[in-house]
Amino acid sequence: MARQTAIRAAVPAVALVLVAAACGGGDDDASTSGGDGAGTIRVANTSPTQPGFVPAKFGVITYGEDFGLDMTIDNFTTFDSHAVATQTVLSGRADVVAGSLVSNLLLNEQGQDFKLFCPYIAQDDFVIAGANGISTVEDLFDPNTRVALDSPGGAGDVILNAMLQALGQEQTAADIPGIQILESSGLRTTAFASGDVDATVIHDYQYYDAAEQATDPVIIASLFEEVPDFVKEAHAAPAAWLEENAELAANYCAAVLMGMRELSADYDAFVGAVEEFADVEEMPDDETLRALHTSAVDYGFWPGEDGGLSEESVTFMAEVGVKSGLLEEVPEYEDVVAVDVLERALELVEEQS
């Protein structure tokens, strides 16, 4: 019951942040384009860049100039939450937020006219990990099972709900009695390895690190195997900004898509991108990176060919949000996706190829 209350409380909290942000002043140093579409975009990332997330930055830095962009790594700012990153955009200190697709849908539902226009990462290497005799989805709902998860609406929470839905479970994360809130996957990994929790949602490579210490570890389910329509994160911006900067946004997205295509095709380039752009204290070993790259290619982590924001995928994610108690209803596709910008980006990529 407390978990359900927390979910309901999360929505008004976001609304208050958005109201405060909307009252913020603009930034006189805003960097956007001229009429030819060339220029700079200021991107607010909602979390540190994990190895699987590097194609976007790689694409913009590597191919941005080909599409008339003038951008460096300094144009990307990392925040510790979606709410803070969104506030930065709403106050005029950034142009685009790169983060949770469901959280971006929530922005729209709360009256902020944001639209998705470019993928960031579709699938991810998250798994439900169990230990200490916890080996099935049903075990998660045992009152004695200690389950580490982030707050309602966080990446782990949404991913767990998507997997539960795909596996035919009527219950959601809100119904798990033994939830322990640990916001980062790193904290959850540490708790899982030390035996402080019995199950959690973490990255595949984090599981294998923790499995060396955990008791009877097992992967209960993998996101990319169970939920093919999942879209974890995307780029979004205010609809008014997209209308005024449609060609700039398309050029930016085209560079992102080029990065996704390049890293899908070239493992060595992927390793180099991880070394340059991933926010990790220690570089993952070759075996881990090869496994991640193989999964990314096989399961469509980086949708550089089609853009990834199909009506089916966005609708599925909205349905997950509704079932999780984060959204009230599934929005109309055209109301939350700038289809024209994404289609133009795909055209630009084909012209460049």
Q: Assess whether pLDDT exceeds 50 at residue 156.
A: yes
Q: Assess whether pLDDT exceeds 80 at residue 177.
A: yes
Locate the domains of the chain by residue range.
Answer: 2-123+230-352, 126-226
**Which of 127, 272, 268 is CA-nearest to residue 210?**
127
CA distances from 308 to 39, 316, 339 (A): 25, 13, 11
pLDDT tens-digit readout, 238-257: 999 999 999 999 999 999 99
Count CB-CB contacts under 10 A for residue 141. Answer: 16
42 contacts 31 by C-beta, under 8 angstroms: yes
Summarize the confidence of residues 142-150 as an average pLDDT. Answer: 97
pLDDT band of 13, cuts 50, 70, 90: very low
Q: Assess whether pLDDT exceeds 70 at residue 37.
A: no
Predicted confidence at residue 334, as pLDDT, reads 96
Predicted confidence at residue 297, as pLDDT, reads 96
Distance between CA 261 and CA 255 in Å, rounded? 10
Share of the chain above pLDDT 70, in %: 89
Instruction: Spell out the CATH class of 2-123+230-352.
Output: alpha beta
Summarize the confidence of residues 69-91 as an average pLDDT. Answer: 93
Q: Assess whether pLDDT exceeds 70 at residue 62.
A: yes
Neighbouring residues of 50: CB distance < 8 A, sequence distance ≥ 6: 203, 278, 279, 280
Summarize the confidence of residues 295-323 as an average pLDDT. Answer: 93
Predicted confidence at residue 343, as pLDDT, reads 98
pLDDT band of 342, cuts 50, 70, 90: very high
**Which of 314, 307, 308, 313 is CA-nearest to residue 331?**
314
Distance between CA 55 and CA 174 in Å, rounded? 33
Compute the mean pLDDT over every residue in the chain, rounded to the nearest whole number.
Answer: 88
Q: Assess whether pLDDT exceeds 70 at residue 337.
A: yes
The stretches of 79-129 forming alpha helices (DSSP H) are 82-90, 101-109
Predicted confidence at residue 8, as pLDDT, reads 28
Residue 171 sits at φ, ψ, to 5 deg, of: -80, 160
pLDDT band of 152, cuts 50, 70, 90: confident
161 contacts 223 by C-beta, under 8 angstroms: no
Domain 2-123+230-352 shares a fold with domain 126-226? yes
Q: Which amino acid, one-letter code, is at 71? A: M
Higher pLDDT, 2 or 110: 110
Distance between CA 3 and CA 174 in Å, rounded? 5
Higher pLDDT, 152 or 347: 347
- Nearest-10 crossing angle of helices 101-109, 82-90: 50
Q: Assess whether pLDDT exceeds 50 at residue 11.
A: no
pLDDT tens-digit readout, 207-224: 999 999 999 999 999 999
pLDDT band of 205, cuts 50, 70, 90: confident
pLDDT band of 17, cuts 50, 70, 90: very low
Predicted confidence at residue 308, as pLDDT, reads 94
Q: Assess whether pLDDT exceeds 90 at residue 270.
A: yes
CATH topology of domain 126-226: D-Maltodextrin-Binding Protein; domain 2 (3.40.190)
pLDDT tens-digit readout, 92-123: 999 999 998 998 999 999 999 999 999 999 99
